[in-house]
């Protein structure tokens, strides 16, 4: 069988590969009809030359007046560190999340995790269970407290922490588990929460990619980040609610914990020059807070746009209502699994490529055709040099994390996608993969 990705395609097989997407998209009237629902400028958004992995310019252009006004107010008032804009944003986000939420802004999402662990007293001699498939910050902060990260496996469908593996990873030194709500939807908080409660473990939710998501379980219900002892989030520019630069926050329903986090984030001081603990300099600055505060009223619309783009991908890949009967399954592509008990914010839209696919070659081929892609995450944390001798891995290893890391591919996902853009991405993806057998 020919592979454009490996450069071994024959002329006849390539002809079939070129023809197949045309047949697919000839049946996709529901996707094409969605064009009329868009509010983007056709000359900017539908140009075949314009394709972004993340389109912050397009997003910010639609709210430019509000963003500029918010930033100018910060400059005019010189409220650069803490102050009114930070308090206003923390209050507005807490009100949106509800459930007696306390929001403590800080310097970035990594600091938010570190502050949460510090506030819970996690330190040397302790172990914290983390998923092996996530960004390094999740485990990095454990090591920074002096504790030991313990790497557990993931569910190969949802990519979230697998509770059975987490249970095997537990020891007498385990004090906490960090649950990552990856790519936009919640981990299994019914199972993970019940297990953690039984064993007296702290639950920290890394909610950097799923702010605003909700869990509707039989045992646990509520907003992501407020389902355990503390949640954290990141306002890195590419996040669903992004700042001008770095920013983050700790979320909790525990007022005492929130007060402790605020203390630690401000050099361990409640009042100037009077330090109760060794803390950090990790404060959300006024400019970032004002920028975030101006974007927050648009948050529902931003998420709706992402969800709509995801539905277009589903149709184009042959997995959604009105989709072609074949599609991704015929090509060996696995579309994102939807956890029915969770809403999905679609920070990323990640597919799994067929086994044995040369992913790097696929990416190069797609890039040559103007289609950007990304890989989250190419190396499980247990295999990172930084953790050699500083962590341990659950008995039996993390085979699902390693399998997913070899096959995963993130397609462009942002608020400015159009049906034509999605169609083009999927068509070019199918052209790089082996031609399905008739």
Residues 369-427: tens digit of each pLDDT: 999 999 999 999 999 999 999 999 999 999 999 999 999 999 999 999 999 999 999 99
Final residue in a domain of this structure, among 297, 329, 354: 297
- Specify whether 71 is located in the same domain as 54: no
- Specify whether 70 is located in the same domain as 164: yes
> Contact at 8 Å (CB) between 158 and 344?
no
Distance CA 241, CA 270 (A): 29
Distance of CA 9 to the CA centre of its chain: 35
- Specify whether 428 is located in the same domain as 341: yes
Chain segment 185-198, per-residue pLDDT in tens: 999 999 999 999 99
- Specify whether 370 is located in the same domain as 416: yes
Verify cis geometry, omega within 30 degrees of 0, for the bond prior to 377: yes
Q: HSE-up of 365 (CA within 13 Å, CB side)?
A: 20
* pTM: predicted TM-score of the whole model, two decimal places: 0.88
Asked whether residue 3 is assigned to any structural domain, the reply reads: no
When pLDDT is averaged across residues 284-307 and rounded to a whole number, the result is: 97
Beta bridge partners of 148: 127
Q: How many domains does the chain have?
A: 2
pLDDT of residue 435: 75
- Lowest average pLDDT, out of 71-75, 139-143, 334-338, 431-435, goes to 431-435
Both tokens assigned to 91 = 């209050």
Asked whether residue 49 is assigned to any structural domain, the reply reads: yes
pLDDT of residue 45: 40
Distance CA 345, CA 213 (A): 6
Distances (CA, A) of 39 to 74, 81, 86, 330, 406: 30, 37, 32, 34, 37
Asked whether residue 227 is assigned to any structural domain, the reply reads: yes
Asked whether residue 201 is assigned to any structural domain, the reply reads: yes
Whether the predicted pLDDT of 131 surpasses 80: yes
- Specify whether 269 is located in the same domain as 407: no
pLDDT of residue 437: 60
Quote the mean pLDDT of the chain: 89
Chain segment 371-387, per-residue pLDDT in tens: 999 999 999 999 999 99
Asked whether residue 5 is assigned to any structural domain, the reply reads: no
- Specify whether 174 is located in the same domain as 265: yes
Smallest CA-to-CA distance from 292 within 204, 206, 211, 180 is with 211
Crossing angle (nearest 10°) for helices 419-432 and 359-368: 130
Chain segment 319-353, per-residue pLDDT in tens: 655 444 445 667 889 999 999 999 999 999 999 99
Q: HSE-up of 53 (CA within 13 Å, CB side)?
A: 15
Distance CA 202, CA 206 (A): 13
Distance CA 260, CA 270 (A): 10
Domain that holds residue 405: 11-62+299-432
- Specify whether 324 is located in the same domain as 177: no
Smallest CA-to-CA distance from 247 within 90, 118, 122, 117 is with 90
E strand residue ranges, 207-339: 214-216, 221-223, 230-234, 248-252, 269-271, 274-275
- Specify whether 209 is located in the same domain as 289: yes
Asked whether residue 6 is assigned to any structural domain, the reply reads: no
Asked whether residue 437 is assigned to any structural domain, the reply reads: no
- Specify whether 202 is located in the same domain as 240: yes
When pLDDT is averaged across residues 33-37 and rounded to a whole number, the result is: 43
Smallest CA-to-CA distance from 29 within 423, 335, 428, 434 is with 423
Final residue in a domain of this structure, among 264, 297, 330: 297
pLDDT of residue 238: 97
Q: Residue 160's domain is classified under what CATH number?
A: 3.40.640.10
When pLDDT is averaged across residues 251-269 and rounded to a whole number, the result is: 97
pLDDT of residue 434: 81
Final residue in a domain of this structure, among 238, 273, 297: 297
- Specify whether 211 is located in the same domain as 179: yes
- Report DSSP letters for 67-84, one per residue: HHHHHHHHHHHT--BSSH
Distance CA 108, CA 79 (A): 19
Chain segment 141-181, per-residue pLDDT in tens: 999 999 999 999 999 999 999 999 999 999 999 999 999 99
- Specify whether 343 is located in the same domain as 241: no
Tell me if residue 271 falls in helix, strand or coil: strand
Asked whether residue 222 is assigned to any structural domain, the reply reads: yes
- Specify whether 140 is located in the same domain as 53: no
- Within 10 angstroms of residue 393's Cβ, the number of other Cβ atoms is 21
When pLDDT is averaged across residues 205-231 and rounded to a whole number, the result is: 97
């Amino acid at each position: 069988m020919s592979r454009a990705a490996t450069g071994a395609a024959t002329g006849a097989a390539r002809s079939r590969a070129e023809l197949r997407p045309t047949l697919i998209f000839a049946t996709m009237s529901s996707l094409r009809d969605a064009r009329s629902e868009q509010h983007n400028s056709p000359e900017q958004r539908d140009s075949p030359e314009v394709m972004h992995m993340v389109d912050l310019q397009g997003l910010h252009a639609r709210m430019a007046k509000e963003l500029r006004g918010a930033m100018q107010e910060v400059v005019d008032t010189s409220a650069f560190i803490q102050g009114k804009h930070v308090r206003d944003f923390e209050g507005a986000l807490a009100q949106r999340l509800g459930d007696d939420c306390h929001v403590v802004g800080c310097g970035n999402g990594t600091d938010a995790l570190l502050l949460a662990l510090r506030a819970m007293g996690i330190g040397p001699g302790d172990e914290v269970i983390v998923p092996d498939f996530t960004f390094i910050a999740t485990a990095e902060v454990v090591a920074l407290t002096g504790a030991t990260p313990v790497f557990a496996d993931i569910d190969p469908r949802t990519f979230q922490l697998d509770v059975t593996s987490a249970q095997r990873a537990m020891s007498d030194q385990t004090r906490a588990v960090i649950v990552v709500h990856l790519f936009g939807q919640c981990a299994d908080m019914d199972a993970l929460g019940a297990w953690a409660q039984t064993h007296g473990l702290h639950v920290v939710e890394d909610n950097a990619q799923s702010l605003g998501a909700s869990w509707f379980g039989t045992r646990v219900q509520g907003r992501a980040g407020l389902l355990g002892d503390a949640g954290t989030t990141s306002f890195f520019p590419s996040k669903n609610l992004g700042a001008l630069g770095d920013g983050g926050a700790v979320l909790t329903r525990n007022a005492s914990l929130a007060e402790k986090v605020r203390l630690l984030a401000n050099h361990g001081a409640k009042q100037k020059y009077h330090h109760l603990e060794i803390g950090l300099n990790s404060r959300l600055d006024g400019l970032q807070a004002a920028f975030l505060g101006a974007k927050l009223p648009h948050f529902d619309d931003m998420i709706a746009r992402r969800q709509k783009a995801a539905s277009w991908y589903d149709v184009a890949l042959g997995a959604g209502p009105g989709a072609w009967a074949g599609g991704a399954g015929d090509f060996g592509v696995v579309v994102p699994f939807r956890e029915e008990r969770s809403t999905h914010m679609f920070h990323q839209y990640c597919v799994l490529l067929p086994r044995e696919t040369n992913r790097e070659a696929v990416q190069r081929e797609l890039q040559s055709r103007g289609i950007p892609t990304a890989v989250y995450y190419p190396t499980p944390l247990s295999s990172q040099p930084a953790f050699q001798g500083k962590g341990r891995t659950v008995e039996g290893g993390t085979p699902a994390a390693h399998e997913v890391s070899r096959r995963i591919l993130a397609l462009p996902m942002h608020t400015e996608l159009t049906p034509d853009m999605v169609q083009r991405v999927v068509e070019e993806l199918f052209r790089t993969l082996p031609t399905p057998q008739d």
